[in-house]
Chains A and B, each alone.
Chain A
Amino acid sequence: MSSSAPVGNTALTRFDVCIIGSGAGGGSAAYVLTKAGKKVLVLEGGPNRFDALGDPQQQPISRFSPDEVKLAYRNFIYPDPVADPRTWRSSASAGDRTFVGDVNGLAKTVGGGAVHADLKMPRFMPQDFTLGTDLHNKPAGTSFVDWPVTYDMLEAFYSYAETVIGVQGTPGADPFEGYRSKPLPMPPGLPMYVAVKASQGLSKLGYHPFPYPSAINSVAYDGRPACQDCGLCSGYGCPTNAKGSPAVTTLRKALLSGNCLLLPETKVVKLLMNSAKDTVTGVEAIDPAGNRQRYAADQYVLAASPIEDARLLLLSDPGGNGIGNSSDQVGRNLTFHLHNDALGIFEERMHGHRGRTVTHAFTDFRGTPNDPDHPLGGICEISGSLGPVGEADYLRRVFDVFGFNGARFKRLLREAVIRERVMIFAMVGEDAPQPTNRVDLDPAVRDIDGIPVPRVTYQSHAWELAARDFYKPKMIAALGAAGARFAALSPAGDIPTTSHIMGTLRMGNDPRQSVCDSTGRFHDVGNLYNADGALFPTSSGFNPTMTIMALAMRVAAGMAYPGAPERALS
């Protein structure tokens, strides 16, 4: 099987749109555009790990497997941290860099980061779109602004995306969620036992656990089977296609339309511009054989994830400020989520390595603007654990502090202290956007192709650290109420590792303070759009993938039907 062979309609030679990236955003854009009859070329830098992805006669054959070594330790779909590194520093005053390696690594593969995710798909809340207006006394150094789109404008696309990819859950079970115009297409799957026990404790304290909306089939849906709860979900591609990653949903539908050609292992390294730099004339890429090729279309969509998007714009303007950057906002306002993980260890075995990694959540810690008794935090995931290789790796890091002892290590593994006895509350804490948190090009470090790597300058703001400190005792108390023997907040390092990456090309109505407008089009470049989380002006306190997909579909719908994007919903 070839990981680089073209997929889809190889007879296509002329394209209306070229999409860079095949993940949550790129796949969504490809689906909407091809459905509208546009001819679409998708360029993906990573490998294709599916056979028959574009074959209408059969379901795709996944080459993923519940193999910890392959996925978590041999970089089957992850960039290699030495050959494809990023660099990090906390601030410009820290020097050129203080770390080289894995910084916010996202899977680079057909289907993008959504292939490895466990596809938790909550929507943002209506309040998340208007913090510029609603948040008083904004902390110094932050750049909270309103989104140029509201929840109301996005709602129909949320519902549409949920149906296209298949999302399970129980509408209304989260008392804090926004309104919805349509039900979810699938009921929730089996709860993990960890979630059952957690929910008992949370309910005792007056919190409101609910089944996490997830793009994982609880029943057969759209020709794909129901999930079998194999346990290796978060961080793993799905062996059975029960998980609705973009590869087997939006992208596959685009490929089956006959209007799409996908070129895997085709690494875009430059946007080619006209002399005024206000129009993209083509892209330059390194093909699977290592040769430089050029591709052209009428319009272009950047959907390579925020860090790579910014990198490409900067690479395309050597010596300049970056394509589309009259605002000086390209690369800035990079946000993540401050993941606050509270761990509980139980006497009872809870087999948290079975199930979909996370089946339940509670939103009681998302908070309300300006309410000191409920500061803005985020949704709390109720999580299980890892396989034994991951468990061993976790324990190794614990022993870094306490000194390694083989006999103790083995005993802890045999008693499955982490794998079977852990319950995790992971709060997806909102990041304050800061202009100084940004992506640029490292001045010296290169990837294995000799191309400048992205440099991430990032540090948390006191604002989100305060929310973490506020909710920490509550999370620990909740673990105790659920029956934990021991509970603590897991220490976080300085180097960002989250896969929730947002900002760098924030959308807004003012071209002086934003990169893209409310349709996702670059203010400065008439035929260039963004369709991923780079558009997000703020990060909210929820997993971003559902909003990425809804927004990307809306962007593509506006490209297909200018001024009337709702036509794409029919």
Chain B
Amino acid sequence: MTSKLPLVPPLTRRQVLQAMGTGAAVLVLPGCRSHFAAPGAPPPSFFTATERLQLAALADYVLPPDDAPGGAALGAVPYIEKLLSCLEHPEPQIFLGGPYSGRVPFAASNGLPTTIYPANDYLNYEPPGRLALKAWQLYLLGSDGVGGAPNDAVLGKVVGLRDQLRNGLQDAAAKSQRPLEQLDYAGLGELWPKLDKAFADVLIGLVSQAAFGMPEYGGNPNGAGWAMVRYEGDILPLGFSFIDPASGLPHDNPRSPTSVAQPGPDPEPLSQASRDFLRTVFIALGGQEFP
């Protein structure tokens, strides 16, 4: 099933944060059956209002808003906040359940979608287990937050993710000539190389997870991130192949095949700018360009 979700209309950073403040964090796309969970009670929070604005600004440098949503509109802030608060629930909200989200139907005998959907297992969370729970406590809260870690004396204390992000934001704000949320893309681009490298790497990773991970984790509202990069999302139980009842053998999903070219033109071909960048990378690796 190719993704038919239209691109989310571009929003400003302030519009996104206003929507979050009212609990209306889900962007419902017109004309599309929504399988995405509506928000419930306000989640546990961690950031201050200023920190959210700063984080949104930096997320919009990682994925700048243009004709497609930026990092903030793709849910970077709620994703990160939900991650940092995932242990503050009766059942830790670390791992979504499985196997199915309930977004995608079962396949018919011809491989096309039916109207029969599986139950939504993503409403539940899988338990972390003894070791995983201890690991996540250390990961989020650091050595100081758990009363010390076994290797503090040998390797130094573990700085929890909460402190990494808070400290990183403070550092970024201190290095900026103006409040972060007032910087345009060029201004953020001047600031970015000055950021603590470890913080910058964590940020890129988290913004990416927010944009392209399961929406139930707090980002990728209504699959907007998937739509932007033309990714089908969680494809099961429909799948990219099915068993033909006549032959008993596997066949391609007729709309999203595995073994043959995707029908239709390339929706976003390789640009000259990308080609030039790839040339630089591959030549630097000692590789080759073929005519």
Contacts and interface: CB of A to CB of B under 8 A. Distances in A.
Interface of A: 1-4, 47, 49, 61-70, 73-76, 80, 82-85, 100, 187, 189-193, 196, 218-220, 226-231, 239-240, 265, 267, 288-290, 345, 347-351, 353-355, 387-389, 392-393, 396, 398, 400-417, 419, 421, 444-450, 476, 480, 484-491
Contacts, number: 305
Contacts of A191: 258-259
Q: Binding site of B, secondary structure by majority: helix, strand, loop or mixed?
A: mixed
A34 B122 CA distance: 36
A348 B64 CA distance: 26
A488 B200 CA distance: 27
B33 interface: no
Contacts of B236: 65-66, 228, 230, 239-240
22 contacts: A3-B129, A67-B213, A74-B94, A75-B132, A84-B131, A196-B259, A227-B250, A228-B241, A230-B240, A240-B236, A265-B131, A348-B266, A355-B240, A355-B259, A406-B60, A406-B185, A415-B271, A476-B287, A486-B279, A486-B281, A486-B288, A488-B287
A434 to B, nearest CB: 27
Given A85-B151, A193-B261, A409-B62, 14 more contacts: A4-B129, A4-B130, A65-B101, A82-B138, A196-B259, A230-B235, A240-B237, A349-B262, A392-B208, A393-B205, A396-B201, A396-B208, A406-B63, A486-B287
A410 B66 contact: yes
Given A66-B236, A240-B237, A486-B279, A405 B212 contact: no
B274 interface: yes
B116 interface: no
Give the 6 A-B CB pairs with smallest separation, nearest first.
A488-B287, A228-B239, A65-B98, A239-B99, A83-B135, A392-B208
B99 A240 contact: yes
A65 B234 contact: yes
Interface in B102-150: 107, 121-122, 126-127, 129-132, 134-136, 138-139, 149-150
Of B94, B98, B285, chain A has the most CB atoms within 10 Å of the CB of B98
B269 interface: yes
A421 B282 CA distance: 14
B240 A231 contact: yes
Contacts of A65: 96-101, 121-122, 234, 236
B258 A448 contact: no
A73 B217 CA distance: 12
Interface stretch (B42-50, B168-176, B221-229): B221-229
B250 A189 contact: yes
Nearest to B67: A414
A99 B124 CA distance: 37
A354 B258 contact: yes
B132 A450 contact: no
A219 B131 contact: no
Interface string B38-74: 0000000000000000000000111110101000000
B249 interface: yes
Contacts of A401: 281, 284
B251 to A, nearest CB: 8
Interface of B: 60-64, 66, 68, 94-101, 107, 121-122, 126-127, 129-132, 134-136, 138-139, 149-151, 154-155, 158, 185, 188-189, 192-193, 200-201, 204-205, 208-209, 211-214, 217, 225-226, 228-231, 234-243, 248-252, 256-262, 266, 268-271, 273-275, 277-282, 284-290
A355 B192 CA distance: 37
A82 B231 contact: no
B154 A402 contact: no
Nearest to A100: B155
A267 B204 CA distance: 35
B250 A417 contact: no
B130 A67 contact: no
A450 B193 CA distance: 39
A65 B241 CA distance: 17
Given A389-B208, A450-B150, A487 B282 contact: yes
Contacts of A4: 129-130
A353 B274 contact: no
Contacts of A47: 127, 129, 132
B288 A229 contact: no
A555 B207 CA distance: 49
Given A193-B260, A416-B230, A488-B285, A219 B248 contact: yes
Given A413-B229, A487-B282, A487-B288, A73 B209 contact: yes
A4 to B, nearest CB: 6
Of A389, A403, A408, A409, chain B has the most CB atoms within 10 Å of the CB of A389
A66 B233 CA distance: 9
B232 to A, nearest CB: 8
Contacts of A408: 273-274, 277
B290 A487 contact: yes
A76 to B, nearest CB: 5
A335 to B, nearest CB: 27
Contact of B63 (A49, A80, A409): A409
Contacts of A405: 189
Of A1, A68, A229, A416, chain B has the most CB atoms within 10 Å of the CB of A229
Contacts of B270: 347, 415, 417, 421, 485
B220 to A, nearest CB: 10
A185 B265 CA distance: 39
A187 B201 CA distance: 44
A66 B284 CA distance: 34
Nearest to A405: B189
A192 B259 CA distance: 5
A26 to B, nearest CB: 19
